[in-house]
Chain A
Amino acid sequence: MTRAAPARAMLAGLLAGLAGCAAPTFPPPQQSAYTVAQLTRDSMAYRSALPRDAPDRRVLTPVHGEACASAIFFPPSPPDPFFGSNLVEPYIPWPSFSAVFGDDGYARAVAQAMRDMPDARLIDVRADVRTTSVLGIWVRGCVVVHGMAAR
């Protein structure tokens, strides 16, 4: 062990800390060798209806629905640095084991949005991903769909 070892360890710690607060991507990265378990249904594509698809609309009601999945990472997931750079991630020396469960697909979110008006048509759809992360160990990602139910 040389005198440089503590400095290197401190640098590693600093780099790890700089991975810091991130907007972790969710759904999490696709299955890897370190995914212990994954039982998910994730959003992929949704070609939603447009206002013209409900030409006789007389009533527009704002609705929203959401579908969520949860993940556990250990050691904590090294998320993409918050905005922009992926500078730090390659230098974090350990893999992160994960288990991911849940249905955060469009179908479930839309079904929840329309559950009170199953005969209506959902138009002008905005979809967001809300991600909540605690210590990078527990991450919950929800696909949130907002739109207008046209009848």
Chain B
Amino acid sequence: MLRSSLLLAALALPLTACLYSNVSAPLSYGSATPGDANGNLGAQVTGKACNVGILWLVAVGDGGYEAAVKDALSRTPAPFLVDVKADTDYENILLGLYQKQCTRVTGRVPAGGAAPSPAASGGDGKP
């Protein structure tokens, strides 16, 4: 019985973490302020980006600021967001059998000519 207990404990060792995770989490965002848009604020937009964990075994997703901001800016040609609020949504079902964490950013776009559109610059500049 002692041997089986030790064996079970040894088998449990590698279970202390999930099989695989590849997630992004927000770290910092030096967002623009209304002064950066000369006080001209346009429409409010919202973007969301999520990480998902399933069965305690796998966690994947891109729940960082960049994905959330990209989602928000996909609805507008504006180059950046102004007056940004960032929140986190959690969903946790059955002790974590299914878990979802989303970063949600809400902000305003600069109205009329506060900055040139990145599309006008040509190239995406990705390294």
Contact = CB atoms under 8 A, between A and B. Distances in A.
Interface of A: 1, 5-6, 8-10, 12-13, 16-24, 43, 46-52, 57-65, 75-79, 81-84, 92, 94, 112-113, 115-117, 123-137, 143-144, 146, 148-149
Given A13-B9, A125-B29, A128-B64, A61 B118 contact: yes
B118 A22 contact: no
Interface of B: 1-2, 4-5, 8-9, 11-33, 35-37, 51, 53-59, 62, 64-67, 69, 79-81, 90, 92, 95-96, 99, 101, 114-118, 120-121, 123-127
A113 B26 CA distance: 18
A1 B30 contact: no
Nearest to B118: A60
A148 B95 contact: no
Nearest to B5: A9
B101 A51 contact: no
A57 B29 CA distance: 20
B84 to A, nearest CB: 10
B126 A131 contact: no
Contacts of A137: 14, 17
11 contacts: A6-B1, A10-B8, A24-B21, A46-B30, A62-B126, A64-B66, A75-B13, A83-B53, A84-B92, A116-B127, A148-B118
Contacts of B16: 16-17, 19, 75-78, 92, 136
Nearest to A45: B28
Contacts of B59: 21-23, 82
A130 B30 contact: no
Contact of A50 (B11, B32, B54, B114): B32
Contact of A13 (B15, B62, B65, B95): B15
